Amino acid sequence: MPDYFEVQKSSEFGRYTTVTKNVKSGDIIFEEYPFVVGPKPNIAPVCLVCCYPVDGSENGPRCPNCRWPLCENCIGHKFHNDECELFVRNNVKFRDFASYDEPCVQLDCITPLRLLLTKDSNPKRWDEEVSLMEHHELNRRNTDQWFSDQRNVVEFLHGPCKLKELYSEELIHQACGILHVNAFEGRTSFASGCNIQCLFPKAGLSAHSCVPNITHSIYPSDNFKIIVRASIDMKKGETLYTTYTNLMVSTEQRQEHLKSGKFFTCHCARCTDPTELETHFRTFKCNKCDPGLIYSKDPFDENCSWKCTHCKFTTTSTAIQKVLSVIQAEVDFIKTMEFGPERLAKCEEIFRKYRGAFHPSHYLLTAIRQNLIELYGRVEGYELCDLTDKLLEHKVAMCESVLNVLNVLYPGKTRTRAMLLYDLHAPIVLLAKISYATGKIKDGEFKKKLKHAYDLLQESSTILAWEDVDSVEYTISQIGKQSLSQLRDNIRTL
């Protein structure tokens, strides 16, 4: 299909893209195959193709030719062929690495090496697309990451791999920088699906915003092709905005990530607004007065005081950050717990403990809600059929609260929204059936509630069906379509 974007250039964004026609949410703007795919840096031993964690010791799975880590199912895969030939030719050995918890620095060279080897095999695309990508050499130089690349990539490729005459130090650092600044995270469809990095030169041109207007899906089953879609309606000439950071954290956290990893400060409408577009995503409640809200008037000044909107209470940014770090640690601990009843109970405990301290839409409360939404209906003893009316209503309220935030900060047809809609529709159906069976509502109201759930599920299934056929999201879309048929029959009989 044709591309519906064109490249522009400005002092603010450098190269960026605009849409070349009016588009509706969900419309495809362009498709692209990656220039290179490979393991991320700073990872424990993994198979070089599927990136599934493997035993890095001498007992682990190995390529029969070069003896580097490779699952049996991945032997002979094209991703590994060129580097394998190089390792064999130059007798480059993989040193046994027994730890599962520490980064295996030997693997840091793999994706930069693949990038350079692909440069040689596809010089036209390198010259026209990849070599033009930002790599921030001056900003990266003499940073911890730069020294790590020098030690683990440059010296390895120049030393054991004997590539000094072919690739200069500057070129290797350029390759590392291009990946560091521009690579997308994807997941393999091999084994259980593991994180990888993919370089898409066209997709990498999209400007950043903390309220993006495009979304993308990566398809492992089709050689990791990326499809970029409009998440909201756009008019011809509008700038295409993706996001380079986690949208569900505070302005301070997003800015720190962008500065350290992408080397710029974001001045989008969300970042420049202390209330984060009236969501109050980083706002505290005042404990000195009932209606007061506390936030910093200048998100870009880390020394700016945090003041109450109603009374005269003021506190320092340092005090705020100390409080946040303590609570963030508790929220992060939840992620380390086994998926089960204890994790659910801990989430509820933390939510009750801190909900009085924050605006209801604060990012930490939103994160806890997202955890609870995932747990209720899936944990033993708390499956949907086990939930009381009160807990079903609790799940509905949490879904609607998070949805209100997404409608502002991550609007349109996105995976995140679709998964939330899927979680929302089921308790709505169950509550409606219970109310109807007990005589609390009549046919008309029952039909109305089922129709609402049907609409939510239909939107969810449509969006999730855009994902790769091997993905969890696609599987859920197919389950959703079956549920749609049942709901349709229920509605017709009323």
Q: CATH number for the domain including 225? A: 2.170.270.10
CATH number (domain holding residue 415): 1.25.40
Specify whether the CB–CB gap between 418 and 473 falls below 8 A: yes
Using CA atoms of 142, 148, 151, 156 in order, give the dihedral in degrees to the nearest 10: -130
The position carrying tokens 């046919």 is 443
pLDDT of res. 100: 75
Question: Per the domain annotation, does 270 fall within a domain?
Answer: no
Domain for residue 401, yes or no? yes
pLDDT at 327: 95
Same domain, 229 and 374: no
List, in sequence order, the alpha helices (H) in 273-410. Answer: 317-336, 341-354, 363-375, 389-409
97 with 226, same domain: the answer is: no
User: Has residue 265 been placed in a domain?
Assistant: no
Residue 247 lies in a domain: no
CA 433 – CA 277 distance, rounded (Å): 37
In the three-class reduction of DSSP (H, G, I as helix; E, B as strand; rest coil), residue 368 is classed as: helix
Same domain, 11 and 152: no
In a domain, residue 176? The reply is: yes
Residue 381, in any domain of the structure: yes
Q: What tokens does 315 get?
A: 């506190």
Identify whether the C-beta of residue 366 lies closer than 8 Å to the C-beta of residue 355.
Answer: no
Domain boundary among 198, 233, 264: 198
Are both 370 and 301 inside the same structural domain? yes
Is the domain of 149 the same as that of 15?
no
| Radius of gyration in angstroms for the set of CA atoms belonging to the chain, rounded to a whole number | 25
Contact 266, 210 (CB under 8 A): yes
218/130 same-domain check: no
The CB-based long-range contact list for 250-258 (8 Å cut-off, 24+ gap) reads 250/281, 250/282, 250/324, 250/363, 251/210, 251/276, 251/281, 251/282, 251/299, 252/282, 252/299, 252/302, 252/321, 254/210, 255/299, 255/300, 258/208
Q: What is the pLDDT of residue 6?
A: 96
269 in any annotated domain = no
CA distances from 420 to 4, 179, 242, 398, 405 (A): 29, 32, 20, 10, 12
Domain boundary at 242, 275, 307, which?
242
- What is 203-246 written as a DSSP string? GGGSEE-SS-SEEEEEEGGGTTEEEEEESS-B-TTPBPEE-SS-
Beta carbons of 45 and 39 less than 8 angstroms apart: no
Cβ density class 370-403: b for 16+ within 10 Å, e for less: bbbbbbbbebeebeeeebeeeebebbbebbeebb
Q: 142, 167, 198 — which closes off a domain?
A: 198
Residues 154 and 237 in one domain: no
Q: How many domains does the chain have?
A: 3
Task: Evaluate whether 316 touches 306 at the Cβ level (below 8 Å).
Answer: yes
Q: Is residue 191 left, alpha or beta, with left meaning phi > 0 and alpha meaning psi from -120 to 50?
A: left
Does residue 386 sit in the same domain as residue 476?
A: yes
| pLDDT < 50 stretches in the chain | 191
Residues 191 and 204 in one domain: no
Q: In a 3-state reduction of DSSP, which class is residue 289?
A: coil
364 and 462 in a single domain? The answer is yes
Quick one: tokens of 146? Answer: 């730069």
Residues forming beta bridges with residue 198, ordered by sequence position? 37, 184
Q: Which domain holds residue 136?
A: 36-198
The verdict on 141 and 217 lying in the same domain is no
Tell me, yes or no, whether 452 and 470 share the same domain: yes
HEC string for 158-176 = HCCCCCCCCCCHHHHHHHH
**pLDDT reported for residue 190:** 58
Quote the pTM value.
0.93
